[in-house]
Amino acid sequence: MAPQMIFVNLPVKSVDASRAFFEKLGFSHNPQFSDETTACVVFSDTIFAMLLEEDKFKSFMAPGKEISDATKATEVLVTLSAESREKCDELADA
Taking only the tens place, the pLDDT of each residue in 44-86 is 999 999 999 999 999 988 988 889 888 898 878 777 788 899 9
Q: Is residue 1 part of a domain?
A: no
* Number of structural domains found in the chain: 1
- 94 pLDDT higher than 90: no
Q: Is residue 16 part of a domain?
A: yes
User: Tell me, what's the pLDDT at 84?
Assistant: 92
DSSP class of 18: H
Residue 88, domain extent: 6-93
Q: Is residue 72 part of a domain?
A: yes
What is the value of pTM for the model shown? 0.81
- 10 pLDDT higher than 80: yes
Q: What CATH number is associated with residue 57? A: 3.10.180.10
- The region that residue 71 occupies, defined by phi over 0 for left and psi between -120 and 50 for alpha, beta otherwise, is alpha
